[in-house]
Structure formats: structure tokens, C-alpha cells
């Protein structure tokens, strides 16, 4: 549907092309989906929303592959009703996304770019001393990182944080349950599981890694943000919709949140003049955390493996619990 972001020309679609008759559209408007995909049995979409109206009209469709980990753009519950499997691509960009979170953290704590600009502007050459401090760097060792959503990316981020000597907190879900797969790390003392409210109270850095769904939409609201310590940094590489935008703006304005660093926005691309994007205390990248060449190459290969497994009658990475074909 929208192959350009995954492969702007530096990769090959061959792993997918080998499986059938492949048509790549660099971009697609929602209004064109039904005509362009009328004959398709398999569609791959990244951010083109696939809703129930389209699924009703695409009568030949048997499989929807999401070219991403987050699959909030597809009405997978309705696809389930139709017996249409929806697959995603877990894990392909785990290392790249966790690395991006640390790029934001180090940007805030070490200000390499600000110091570089100051040096290039001549401040060092005219300094009275061998060194000068504009804003003191912050040492991460001993600081607390709170991770909301301890899955593939959250776990990798925790590993990186421990290498920096940070304490890692993870949150229980709203119903009190632990994220799957976290028990070992809790038992080994690598992370501490606390209620979401306590995580907001204790963390200097809070990083969001949940999927966007009805439980997580606008989860980070004024109630949670009222608990943070002055000087907290909020990091979001999950989905823009996980935060309540007005509440984040208020927390930035009242000085408790010193930075909101994000790779995602509720509507992408954002409309011009977003107050959040243009706020002096925010740091934004254009949904690029996943986009290393390595990760994109992995994604194309896994997308092809997903289709092959489904053709072989043993589907994998199905997110809506449909194991058979359209009924
Ligand atoms: N910015 C980017 O480039 C990328 C963004 N993403 C986003 O990051 C999200 C996470 O990715 P992964 O770690 O690979 O997914 P994952 O599925 O491995 O991990 C998500 C974790 O969140 C937990 N969770 C779900 N609801 C929760 C709640 N209400 N409270 C606390 N924990 C909850 C789950 O139990 C799971 O452990 C994706 O859904 C996607 O939206 C993913 C890849 C790239
Ligand atoms: O994999 C994901 O969920 C991502 O957000 C990565 O970006 P993409 O959706 O692949 O453009």
C-alpha cells in the first residue's frame, strides 16, 4: 500500500516478490485502496488504515500483513469476524528504537550539539578557563528510568539503561497484571515492577513502549503527570495517541516536565503549527526510530516469512487470532 517508507529505494522487495504477483505502491490514499487492491489476495500496509468498509469491499482478500510492529491502523477485530488473519512484524526494530531512546536521553543529559555550537561560535577560544559550564551534564548512573510497556523494545531499553548504571522500574498494567515475559527479570532483580502511579513518582526518565489500543489511548494524562518530580523527562517512541496532549503541554509549561522527546504524533504527518511540536521544551523526530537500513531489511524478510508461513498453513505473528482463511 505504502511501500516508500519501508523501502525508499535502498532495499530489494525480492523476498516478497518471489511469493507471487507483487505490485508496490509508494503511497496510497485511503480512497484508492478498494480500486487498487480489488484483485489482491494479500495486502501489505504500513500506515494506510484498513477499516471494515474496505474489508467488506475487498472480497478476494485473504490476508492482511502490517509492515510494522504496531498494528493500530488495521481494524483487526473486524478482520477476525471475517476470518481474515492480520499479521505484524515483531522485534524487527527493537535495537534501533531502544538506541533512539538513548539518543534522546543523551541529548538531554550531555548537550553535545549545544556545546558544539557554543565552541564553533568561539566561546571556548575566548574562555578565561580551560573549561566552561553552560548547563552541567547530568550523570545517568544512579538515576531511575521508568519503562511503560516491557516488551521487545522495553526489555532492550532496560538492558541499555542497566549498562549506564540506572535503576529500572517497569509498570504493571492498569489491571495490576505484569507484562508477559517480565517475571524472570523481576526475579533476577534487573527491574522492579511497581504500579504506574509509583513509576511516575519515582522516575527521572519515563519511556513509553505500549501498543496503542483502547486501554492505552491517552493513558499518560494529567492524573499521572501530576505525580512526576520536577525535572522529569518523558520519552515517547510508541504512538502519539498514548499521551493526552493538553496534559503534556501543561506539565511542560508548569516546569515539572523538562522535556518531552518523541518520535511519534497522534496524526502523522502532523498538521502545521502543532503547539506540542513547536514547544521549546519538546524534541521531535519524524517517526524514524525504526528506520535503520538493518531494521527495514529485517522487516521485509519477516513480512515475506509471514506470508510464506500462512501459505504453508502454519501462520505466524497473527495478531487477531485467525489461523485459517477467510470464511
Ligand atoms: N517509533 C518507532 O519507530 C516504532 C514504534 N513502535 C511502537 O512501539 C510499540 C511497542 O513495540 P514492542 O516493544 O516491539 O512491542 P511488544 O508487543 O513486544 O511490547 C509491548 C508491551 O507493552 C505491554 N503493555 C500493553 N498494554 C500495556 C499497558 N496498558 N500497561 C503496561 N504495559 C502494557 C505488553 O504487555 C508488552 O509487554 C509498538 O506497538 C509500536 O506502536 C514499534 C516499532 C518502531
Ligand atoms: O513498527 C512500528 O510499529 C513502527 O512504528 C515503525 O514504523 P513503521 O510503522 O514501520 O513506519
Give pLDDT tens digits for 241-279: 999 999 999 999 999 999 999 999 999 999 999 999 999
Q: Which ligand is nearest to the CA of 286?
A: 1
- Ligand 1 site residues, Cβ closer than 6 angstroms: 69-70, 90, 93-94, 97, 148-154, 171, 173-174, 179-180, 209-212, 215-216, 237-239, 263-264, 287, 289-290
ipTM of the complex: 0.97
- Convert the pLDDT of each residue in 86-132 to its tens digit: 999 999 999 999 999 999 999 999 999 999 999 999 999 999 999 99
Q: Which residues contact 238 (CB under 8 A, 6 or more apart)?
A: 70, 149, 208, 209, 210, 211, 212, 264
- Convert the pLDDT of each residue in 4-30 to its tens digit: 999 999 999 999 999 999 999 999 999
Q: Is 178 helix (H, G, I), strand (E, B) or coil?
A: coil
Q: Which of 89, 151, 208 to mutate to test the pocket of ligand 1 (most atoms within 8 A of CB)?
A: 151
Atom of ligand 1 nearest to the CA of 179: 35
Q: Is 290 in the pocket of ligand 2 (CB under 6 A)?
A: yes
* pLDDT range class, residue 324, cuts 50, 70, 90: low
Domain with CATH 3.40.50.720 in the chain: 13-91+292-312, 94-284
The CATH homologous superfamily of the domain defined by 13-91+292-312: NAD(P)-binding Rossmann-like Domain (3.40.50.720)
* pLDDT range class, residue 173, cuts 50, 70, 90: confident
How much of the chain exceeds pLDDT 90, in percent? 95
Q: Please tell me the distance between residue 149's alpha carbon and the centre of ligand 1 in angstroms.
A: 6
Atom of ligand 2 nearest to the CA of 296: 10
The single residue listed with the C-alpha cell 502543532 is: 274
CA-angle at 195, arms to 192 and 198, nearest 5°: 85
Whether residue 291 has pLDDT greater than 60: yes
Whether residue 176 has pLDDT greater than 60: yes
- Convert the pLDDT of each residue in 201-229 to its tens digit: 999 999 999 999 999 999 999 999 999 99
Whether residue 327 has pLDDT greater than 60: no
- Convert the pLDDT of each residue in 136-163 to its tens digit: 999 999 999 999 999 999 999 999 999 9
Whether residue 306 has pLDDT greater than 80: yes
Q: Helix 293-311 vs helix 94-110: angle between axes, to the nearest 10 degrees?
A: 150
C-alpha cell at 39: 484483485
Cβ burial of 214 (10 Å; 0-12, 13-18, 19+) is exposed
The CATH class of the 94-284 domain is alpha beta
Residues 293-317: what's their mean pLDDT?
97
pTM (2 d.p.): 0.96
Q: Please tell me the distance between residue 192's alpha carbon and the centre of ligand 2 in angstroms.
A: 28
Give the residue, by CA position, lying nearest to ligand 2 atom 4: 68
Please name which of 274, 264, 257 lies closest in space to residue 243, comparing C-alpha atoms.
264
Amino acid at each position: 500500500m505504502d511501500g516508500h517508507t519501508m523501502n525508499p529505494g535502498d532495499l530489494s522487495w525480492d523476498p516478497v516478490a518471489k511469493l507471487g504477483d507483487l505490485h508496490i505502491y509508494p503511497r496510497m490514499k485511503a480512497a484508492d485502496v478498494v480500486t487498487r487492491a480489488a484483485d489482491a489476495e494479500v495486502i501489505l500496509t504500513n500506515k494506510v488504515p484498513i477499516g471494515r468498509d474496505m474489508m467488506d469491499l475487498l472480497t478476494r482478500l485473504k490476508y492482511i500483513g502490517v509492515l510494522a510492529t504496531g498494528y493500530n491502523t488495521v481494524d483487526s477485530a473486524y478482520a477476525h469476524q471475517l476470518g481474515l488473519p492480520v499479521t505484524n512484524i515483531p522485534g524487527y526494530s527493537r535495537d534501533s528504537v531502544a538506541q533512539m531512546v538513548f539518543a534522546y536521553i543523551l541529548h538531554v543529559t550531555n548537550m553535545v550539539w549545544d556545546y558544539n555550537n557554543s565552541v564553533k561560535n568561539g566561546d571556548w577560544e575566548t574562555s578565561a578557563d580551560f573549561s566552561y559550564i553552560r548547563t552541567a551534564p547530568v550523570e545517568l548512573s544512579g538515576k531511575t528510568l521508568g519503562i511503560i510497556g516491557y516488551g521487545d523494545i522495553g526489555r532492550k531499553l532496560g538492558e541499555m539503561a542497566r549498562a549506564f548504571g540506572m535503576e529500572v522500574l517497569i509498570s504493571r498494567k492498569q489491571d495490576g497484571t505484569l507484562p508477559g515475559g517480565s517475571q524472570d527479570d523481576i526475579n533476577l532483580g534487573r527491574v522492579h515492577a511497581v504500579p504506574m502511579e509509583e513509576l511516575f513518582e519515582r522516575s527521572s526518565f519515563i519511556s513509553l513502549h505500549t501498543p496503542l489500543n483502547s486501554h492505552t489511548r491517552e493513558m499518560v494524562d494529567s492524573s499521572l503527570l501530576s505525580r512526576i518530580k520536577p525535572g522529569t523527562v518523558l520519552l515517547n517512541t510508541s504512538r502519539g495517541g498514548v499521551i493526552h496532549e493538553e496534559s503534556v503541554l501543561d506539565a511542560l509549561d508548569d516546569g515539572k516536565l523538562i522535556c518531552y522527546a518523541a518520535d511519534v504524533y497522534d496524526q502523522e504527518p502532523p498538521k502545521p503549527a502543532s503547539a506540542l511540536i513547536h514547544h521549546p521544551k519538546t524534541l521531535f523526530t519524524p517517526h524514524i526510530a525504526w528506520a535503520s537500513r538493518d531494521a527495514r531489511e529485517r522487516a521485509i524478510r519477516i513480512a515475506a516469512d509471514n506470508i510464506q508461513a500462512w501459505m504453508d498453513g502454519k501462520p505466524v505473528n497473527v495478531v487477531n487470532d485467525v489461523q485459517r482463511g477467510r470464511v
